[in-house]
């Protein structure tokens, strides 16, 4: 991409990848805060596992940029900034009880949904542009994000939401 303008699908694709790269790197910093704030051991463990996966996803994006003969674009993902900030606000507003865990799960699922949309779009664009290996790498990350979302959902529906309802908080 020679200019800051998006003139074609190649430019858009690199912009999307740069956005995802920045988003993953923001999450690498934010996930430990979420894990520390979690009360449930199961939730804390799921977040810590996803942190390791997120580090691998950032490395995978490095590999994708290398495959494309590009350097990672320095694009600030404002959407991820906002999602992380909202998550921090929810943690700060919540008492240390299951309601906080429910808030953390909701915030984390918003992040996962954003990533699922981003990786799904990038995968589709990689396919259209004929980047088969890049498409496969993006598909791998997309599946990981979907699995992380499903895990969060299982934890929420398994007991966290019911505990939050019954915790006796206001």
pTM for this entry: 0.92
Quickly state the pLDDT bin for 112 (edges 50, 70, 90): very high
- Comparing CA positions, the residue from 75, 81, 61 lying closest to residue 144 is 61
Q: In this predicted structure, what is the pLDDT of residue 40?
A: 94
Number of helices (H), then strands (E), belonging to the chain: the values are 6, 0
Give 148's contacts (C-beta < 8 A, 6+ positions apart).
46, 50, 53, 112
Q: In this predicted structure, what is the pLDDT of residue 2?
A: 47
User: For residues 90 and 107, is the Cβ–Cβ distance under 8 A?
Assistant: yes
Q: In this predicted structure, what is the pLDDT of residue 148?
A: 97
Quickly state the pLDDT bin for 4 (edges 50, 70, 90): confident
For residue 98, the Cα-to-chain-centroid distance in whole angstroms is 23
- Is the pLDDT at 3 greater than 90, yes or no? no
Q: Mean pLDDT, to the nearest integer, of 86-97? A: 91
CA distance 112 to 54: 11
Domains of the chain by start residue, with CATH:
9-165 (1.20.1260.10)
């Amino acid at each position: 991409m020679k200019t800051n303008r998006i003139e074609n699908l190649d430019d858009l694709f690199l912009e999307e990848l740069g956005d995802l790269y920045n988003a993953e790197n923001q999450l690498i910093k934010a996930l430990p805060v979420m894990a520390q704030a979690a009360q449930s051991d199961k939730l804390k463990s799921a977040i810590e596992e996803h942190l390791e996966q997120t580090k691998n996803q950032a490395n995978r994006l490095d590999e994708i940029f290398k495959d494309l003969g590009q350097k990672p674009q320095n694009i600030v993902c404002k959407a991820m900034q906002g999602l992380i900030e909202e998550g921090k606000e929810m943690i700060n507003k919540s008492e240390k009880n299951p309601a906080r865990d429910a808030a953390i799960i909701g915030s984390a699922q918003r992040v996962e949904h954003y990533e699922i949309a981003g990786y799904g779009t990038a995968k589709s664009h990689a396919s259209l542009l004929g980047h088969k290996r890049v498409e496969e790498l993006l598909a791998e990350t997309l599946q990981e994000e979907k699995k992380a979302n499903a895990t969060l959902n299982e934890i929420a529906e398994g007991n966290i939401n019911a505990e939050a309802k019954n915790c006796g908080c206001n």
